[in-house]
Amino acid sequence: MKKRLFTPGPTPIPESVMLAMAEPIIHHRNPEFVEVLKSVNENLRYLFQTKNPVLTLTSSGTGAMEASVANLLSPGDKAIFVNLGKFGERWGEIMKAYGVEPVEIKVEWGTAPSTQIVLDTLKRNPGVKAVFLTQSETSTGVFTNIKEIAAAVHKEYDIAVVVDGITSVGCHEMRFDEWGLDVVVTGSQKGLMIPPGLAFVAVSDRAKKMIETSKLPKFYFSLKKALKSYANDDTPFTPAITLAIGLEKALRMIREETVEHIWFHHKVLSEAVRNGSKAIGLKLFGSPASHAVTAVNVPEGVEYSKFNKLLKQKYGITTAGGQEHLKGKIFRVSHLGYYDEVDIVGVVAALEWTLHDLDFKFEPGSGVTAVQKTFAEYTKETADAPRLEAVK
**Shortest Cβ distance from residue 49 to a second copy (Å)?**
26
Helices (H), 185-222: 205-213
Q: Which is nearer to a second copy, 27 or 356 (CB)?
A: 27
**Shortest Cβ distance from residue 115 to a second copy (Å)?**
29
DSSP 10-77: S----HHHHHHHTSPP--TTSHHHHHHHHHHHHHHHHHHT-SS-EEEESS-HHHHHHHHHHHH--TT-
Other CB atoms within 10 Å distance of the CB of residue 147: 18
Q: Is 69 left (phi over 0), alpha (psi -120 to 50) or beta?
A: alpha
Cα(343)–Cα(339) distance, integer angstroms: 6
The conformation of residue 216, written as its DSSP 8-state character, comes to: S
DSSP 68-136: HHHHH--TT-EEEEEESSHHHHHHHHHHHHTT-EEEEEE--BTB---HHHHHHHHHHSTTEEEEEEESE
Q: Which is nearer to a second copy, 126 or 219 (CB)?
A: 219
**Shortest Cβ distance from residue 168 to a second copy (Å)?**
17
Q: Which is nearer to a second copy, 39 or 189 (CB)?
A: 189
- The binding site for a second copy (CB under 8 A) comprises 3, 5, 7, 9-10, 12-13, 18-19, 21-28, 30, 58-63, 66, 70, 93-94, 97-99, 187, 189, 195-197, 216-222, 237-243, 318
**Shortest Cβ distance from residue 97 to a second copy (Å)?**
4
**Shortest Cβ distance from residue 200 to a second copy (Å)?**
14
Residues 6+ apart with CB under 8 A from 380: none
**Shortest Cβ distance from residue 315 to a second copy (Å)?**
14
By DSSP bridging, strand 320-321 and strand 330-334 are antiparallel
The conformation of residue 324, written as its DSSP 8-state character, comes to: G
**Shortest Cβ distance from residue 217 to a second copy (Å)?**
5
